[in-house]
Amino acid sequence: MNGRSGLVMFFLFLFLAVMILLQVLSMVQSDRLYERLNHLLDVWRSAGPVSVTQNRSGSDDLPGEEYPGDEGDWLIWCLSGEPSTLYDVLASSSWSSRWIVSGNIFESLLEYEPDAFKYKGKLAEDFSISDDGLEIYFKLRDDIHFSDGKPITTDDVIFTFETITNPGVDAASYANYFRDVERYEKINDREIKFYMKKVYFLSLGFLGGLPIHPKHIYEFDNPEEFNTRRTDPIGSGPYVFQKWDVGREVVLSRNENYWGKKPKIKKIVYRFITNDIAALQALQAGDVDYLRALPDQFAEKSKDEEFRKKFHCLSYWDAANTGYFWIGWNQARPFFADRKVRLAMTHLIDRKAIRDYILRNPEARIPTGPFYIYGPQSDPNIRPWPYDLERAKKLLDEAGWVDTDGDGIRDKNGVLFRFKYMIVSGVYLHEQIAKLVKDAAAKVGIEVIPEPYEWSIFSERVTARKFDAVSMAWGGGVESDPYQIWHSSQIANGSNYVGFNVPEADAIIEKARETLDKDKRNALYHKFHRIIHEEQPYTFIYTKPEQRFLDKRFENVKIHKLGINEFEWYVPRQKQKYK
């Protein structure tokens, strides 16, 4: 299951999803918030290099071939959150929606080569983009069909595109990535061409990443008919929806009518366990097989010899989904309108201590900007701002925040430097980081009030910009488009929650979107990276590899540059638990 796709993020390609995104994803299990906000991470929505593999690449794509190993058994995932819908194009979808349906039920025209960062055909057998980037062509395979046996045609591609871009359909954040499509031309039932108004370097990936929906199933007169869909998804993928026991689990069964090569696992069960301790207990008791581990869980259990005899302890950088955790400073508040104050906040947070003693992950890194740290968009010459309380104090003094009345709290123009720091309630990692920030801020004369909210309320407040400071995380990709999160046009209704507004950054984002040459585009993104580093709209806390536990009865577990492909797994017949 390729990673997928977040709240209203930029997404990403395959992107992800692997939504990828999911798996775009993603942060690790420890970051429950990251998982939830990884609203835009499907690998097919992730932004990858604009290199393509024409036609089907190799025998891996031939429908008659099989994965190695014995057939049978179930894979039981543990998910920390239950989706509100199983339709991942809708704004009401979540990271769990995408993990369940993306790649399993709904498939796209293109996908990534798992180790080459190139596109290859999935439902499309041939595809191309013109030299000027304005014409994108797809030719469908002649052997593809939905799970009910009806052939997939370009009418289904058109229906999916028109549904996502329909103003009445609740998919505005997703539709944003198709706004430069001028028109499409149906050549015949298997061939279609899209024409762009202007160049967009991710256009091939976004159009190729459309999750194709069957028109004969989902056609509607009123968009609300589609908006209110929640369950019973039907697509072309290797699994079909079986049932949803609300509050407990979603069950998918293998699609025995699948057009491609079938995975060996007969059922996938997504079991919802919101308590992290209970989730690990369920894994050890054999009630679940697969778990994204909390940092402290992974740090402890991966060193336990008895535990390792029973479970794979998987830690790996996933180039398509690795994201970053951050604290955002709302520039609409009097405290954080000044760059010097934002920089001071970064200097007073000991991020190495967070990595070593809270995250407990020596492989984690402190990012300096919004791009994948090992990717071409990130400037490797930019170093993290150091932990430096004296420098923080000096910057605050220069910004005019001083303690004028001797009460121990800085003030300016009659306003005390006292702010609320919003986090998701019940998330141990975030609670510990909030405590560290509170204690550090007190040392320089700032009062921080942690403000925890249950997830649904938290997300509403983030969207409404009702916060002073907030902990969140974004998914990522080998390449990504920063427009949705960082362009000033996205302050009101996009994902620019902190109100970042730098005209030079806007100009770079706009120019980079229209630059097909990768070297020139990445040079622009290095400039953008430098602006973000200097302005500090976020304090970038950490980025880290995926960490997962998997029952060792599963074999053929491979780690690719784009993560893990669960379709490759199988259980030897003598070790199978479920029939």
Task: Give residue-wise pLDDT tens across range 340-372.
Answer: 999 999 999 999 999 999 988 888 999 999 999
Q: What is the pLDDT of residue 47?
A: 32
**How many domains does one find in the chain?**
2
Considering the domain architecture, whether residues 298 and 358 belong to the same structural domain is answered as: no
DSSP at 39: G
Q: What is the pLDDT of residue 24?
A: 30
Mean pLDDT in residue range 195-200: 95
By the 8 A CB rule, do 504 and 17 touch? Answer: no
Which residues sit opposite 154 in a β-bridge?
A: none
Identify which of 138, 267, 141 has the alpha carbon closest to the alpha carbon of residue 206: 138
Which two structure tokens, joined as six digits, stand for 38? 């990884």
Q: How far apart are CA 291 and CA 278, in angstroms?
A: 11
Phi and psi at 271, nearest 5°, equal -100, 135
By the 8 A CB rule, do 558 and 410 touch? Answer: no
Helix (H, G, I), strand (E, B) or coil at 192: strand
Q: Give percent of the chain above pLDDT 70.
A: 89
Q: Is residue 374 part of a domain?
A: yes
Q: How far apart are CA 99 and CA 96, in angstroms?
A: 5
Phi and psi at 523, nearest 5°, equal -65, -40
- pTM comes to 0.80
Considering the domain architecture, whether residues 476 and 572 belong to the same structural domain is answered as: no
Considering the domain architecture, whether residues 268 and 152 belong to the same structural domain is answered as: yes
Q: Is residue 318 part of a domain?
A: no
In one letter, which amino acid is 238? P
Considering the domain architecture, whether residues 257 and 389 belong to the same structural domain is answered as: no
Considering the domain architecture, whether residues 234 and 109 belong to the same structural domain is answered as: yes
Q: Is residue 472 part of a domain?
A: yes
Considering the domain architecture, whether residues 186 and 249 belong to the same structural domain is answered as: yes
As a whole number, the mean pLDDT across the chain is 87
Task: Kindly report the CATH number assigned to the domain that includes residue 455.
Answer: 3.10.105.10
Q: 92 pLDDT exceeds 90?
A: no
Q: Is residue 68 part of a domain?
A: no
Q: What is the pLDDT of residue 438?
A: 97
Task: Kindly report the CATH number assigned to the domain that includes residue 10.
Answer: 3.40.190.10
Mean pLDDT in residue range 538-557: 96
Helix (H, G, I), strand (E, B) or coil at 452: strand
Mean pLDDT in residue range 381-409: 97
Considering the domain architecture, whether residues 288 and 383 belong to the same structural domain is answered as: no
Q: What is the pLDDT of residue 528?
A: 98
Residue 114 sits in which domain range?
Answer: 1-58+73-310+548-579
Considering the domain architecture, whether residues 490 and 513 belong to the same structural domain is answered as: yes
